[in-house]
Amino acid sequence: MIPVNEPKLAKNTLRYVADCVRTGWISSAGSYIRKFEEAFAGAIGVRHAVTTTSGTTALHLALAALNIGPGDEVIVPAMTMIAVPYAVLYTGAKPVVIDIDRDIFALDPGRVEDFFRVGCRFDRRRKAWVNRRTGGLVRAVLPVHLYGHPCPMNEIIALARSHGLFVVEDAAEAHGAIYFRGPKKTRAALAGTMGDFGCFSFYGNKIITTGEGGMVVTDDDALAERARRLKDLAHSPGKRFLHTELAFNYRMTNVQAAIGLAQVEEIDRFIAVKTQMAAAYGRGLAGIAGLRLPAEKPWARNVYWMYAVVVEDEFGMSRDVLMAELWKAGVDTRTFFIPVHRQPVFSEDPAAGETSCPVAEELSEKGLYLPSGLALTSGQIKAVCRAVRELARR
């Protein structure tokens, strides 16, 4: 079976992990935490990086550091990983679900604008936008750079500015993805570095992995300081074990950070491998009717975390049948995410946004991703392409 994701660890991994074990520094107090944070901040071009236990806790920490809480609402894309709306709910706020873009599966700024125009009113007293249906204050937008392609951040940031929203980017799947802000690709920013906070996951299938783990990044000194305090139980600055507010233990271990540091040292090579893999898939799958290959907008560098394709009606076989046939042919695949507003967990307390998101609903039925792990060989990519091509001929 060709696995959907087999990680490849960096060459210094064993040396750094052995160092933790040899010295006894296996908790979160070891020196690899700082080294990993500094290396990651340097690699993506931000002032501060704060390690966490996962991408999920990174999202929660960022929202909590921005004081998002009960009565607030956070705009999220309709098709994303469940960790995104969960993180909003952990704060006591509500997710506002908005439909996505058909090409890159990102939060659609046009639909966000519609939501404000039709679904909200400006409350002069509180100087904030209020959701007409729920009465909640819309406080933040949480764009997700899905499958390695950056979101249209200029539009999202402009909307956030004009409506007084914080921006928390979810770059869990987009380490190293680039958004070119200027017309001639002159001004570039990496996914996760453009909002008030950027959040990353280092789960085993991510481009950089620590097994489990995450990071929040920001250029804002005060926000970084607040995130650091909240992730470590919020000890009072002058007096340890004195606590004036509710906080969390989201501390990463030194062993995880050691694995992460070794990975960051090779991030450019990992991204180059992903790009080459995508090019090989692009060549092998070109011209198959009804199989839509992943886009790369002129203003973006897609890092192709997962090679995500859409099986259109013309293909002649549904996405689910294609996946079952590929499985029989020894190729493992995964479906796109189920839309947030269709998740049974929300059935009794529906999210506060759109109740119908036709693009997300359609793509979640038609999208799948092909094997994309860093350990994938060119022979395996050829075998996957051959299998898809044979099925397309049926």
Measured CA to CA in angstroms, residue 102 lies from 281, 287, 297, 358 at distances of: 21, 20, 12, 10
364 binds ligand PLP (CB under 6 A): no
172 binds ligand PLP (CB under 6 A): yes
Minimum gap (Å) between residue 86 Cβ and ligand PLP: 9
Q: Which stretch binds ligand PLP (CB under 6 A): 170-178, 181-189, 220-228, 324-332?
A: 170-178
Closer Cβ to ligand PLP, 111 or 149, answer by number: 149
DSSP-assigned states of every residue in 13-51: HHHHHHHHHHHT--STTSHHHHHHHHHHHHHHT-SEEEE
193 binds ligand PLP (CB under 6 A): no
Q: Kindly calculate the radius of gyration of the chain based on its CA atoms and give it in whole angstroms.
A: 21
Q: Which amino acid is at 122?
A: F
In 10 A of CB 209, how many CB atoms?
Answer: 23
Minimum gap (Å) between residue 376 Cβ and ligand PLP: 19
Q: Which stretch binds ligand PLP (CB under 6 A): 50-58, 98-106, 315-323, 385-393?
A: 50-58
Q: Judged by CB under 6 A, which of 20, 43, 68, 84 binds ligand PLP?
A: 84
In 10 A of CB 328, how many CB atoms?
Answer: 9
The dihedral through the CA atoms of 280, 151, 263, 214 has a sign that is negative
DSSP 132: T
- Burial state string for 214-244 with b = 16 or more CB within 10 A and e = fewer than 16: bbbbbbeeebbebbbbbbebbeeeeeeeeee
169 binds ligand PLP (CB under 6 A): no
Q: Which of residues 130-149 bind ligand PLP (CB under 6 A)?
A: 144
44 binds ligand PLP (CB under 6 A): no
54 binds ligand PLP (CB under 6 A): yes
Q: Which of residues 215-254 bind ligand PLP (CB under 6 A)?
A: none
- Catalog residues that contact ligand PLP under the rule CB under 6 A: 54-56, 80-81, 83-84, 144, 170, 172-173, 201, 203, 214
